[in-house]
Amino acid sequence: MSSKREELTFLSCGDTCAAWLYPPIADEGARPVIVMAHGLTGTRRDRLGAFAARFSAAGIAALVFDYRGFGDSTGEPDLYEPSRQLDDWRAAIAFARSLPGIDAERVATLGSSSGGGHALAAAAADRKVAAAISQVPMLDRETQSYDRAQNVIEEMKAAAAEGRYLPAVGQPHEAALISAPGAEVGWRRVVAIGDESRWRNRVSAAWLLGEPYRPIQHAASLHCPWLVCIAAGDQVAKPGPAIDAARRAPKGELRLYPGIDHFDIYDGPAHEAVVADEVEFLSRHLLGRNLCGTTKAGSELPRTS
């Protein structure tokens, strides 16, 4: 296989999802694959390729896809529903298994932010998934790290009831899905250094009135190894619930990165630390290798009984 990424598409519920395949640099027969997607409105072009290229270099194929309605995929623009995105995960995993040169028994999932919850839920729903990674994960709708003013809450409820759209990110005083201090600046920096981003600051709000989405409920019974990479200074998603979930998972592995916030993992030293731990984890669980001489970049908290 070539190391150059390939432009691919697959179907999900009648729409077309755009994807990149990063083939593994090493061609040694059927290879493992990691299926990857962003959170909320994020797209494959928003720095996920930086992770995928490292996995490819380690000998693991990476399939990075856009949800329906986002990025380069078709479907109703900017329509967010957790169940809808989980359908896309199922379709992406099935597509990855069908690719030539891929070992269908060695498939992993990786997601960022709310995509970290999806990566957990998708793995829990498919006992053939071999490993999962959740980075800076939002595992429960109620685990945001910041408080909103009452007028902002009321404005968001009204938008949801009326079927309107809201900004995906905004300032703390604005009615946006993510409005933690510094979040808008952080995310726009990720978009700016991305790969000709197709991101739009617009997302449907009606899902806020639905049943709370709680992928954290799958942690305690997850069948496969699960790496949880947590920014200790995360102002978007509370670190505590994700730490507890990683400890509860039978095969959970926790990495905690001091001094970084939610969007810091996409470039610079924080990115290098996170991706190094992810490559080490995948090498053990998909390739059966221990990377001798390497150390874990993030700290690993001891389990409590």
pLDDT string in tens for the chain (305-residue length): 445 899 999 999 999 999 999 999 876 789 999 999 999 999 999 999 999 999 999 999 999 999 999 999 999 999 999 999 999 999 999 999 999 999 999 999 999 999 999 999 999 999 999 999 999 999 987 666 578 899 999 999 999 999 999 999 999 999 999 999 999 999 999 999 999 999 999 999 999 999 889 999 999 999 999 999 999 999 999 999 999 999 999 999 999 999 999 999 999 999 999 999 999 999 999 999 776 544 456 666 544 33
- CB neighbours of 100 closer than 8 A, spacing ≥ 6? none
Domain membership flag for residue 238: yes
pLDDT of residue 193: 94
Domain membership flag for residue 1: no
- CB neighbours of 147 closer than 8 A, spacing ≥ 6? none
Q: Are 76 and 49 spatial neighbours (Cβ–Cβ below 8 Å)?
A: no
Tell me the residue ranges of DSSP E strands in the chain: 6-12, 15-22, 31-37, 61-65, 102-112, 129-135, 165-166, 203-204, 226-231, 252-257
User: What are the structure tokens assigned to 193, written together?
Assistant: 């250094």
pLDDT of residue 301: 53
Domain membership flag for residue 182: no
Give the residue from 184, 175, 161, 55 showing the smallest Cα distance to 108.
55
pLDDT of residue 178: 94
Q: Name the β-bridge partners of 31.
A: 102
CATH code where residue 137 lies: 3.40.50.1820
Domain membership flag for residue 270: yes
Range of the domain at 130: 6-143+215-286
pTM confidence score = 0.94
- CB neighbours of 303 closer than 8 A, spacing ≥ 6? 247
pLDDT of residue 303: 42
pLDDT of residue 274: 98
Domain membership flag for residue 198: no
Alpha carbon distances (Å) from 290 to 256, 277, 283: 21, 12, 7
pLDDT of residue 299: 64
Q: Provide the number of structural domains found in the chain.
A: 1
Domain membership flag for residue 151: no
pLDDT of residue 289: 78
pLDDT of residue 3: 53
Domain membership flag for residue 91: yes
DSSP 38: -
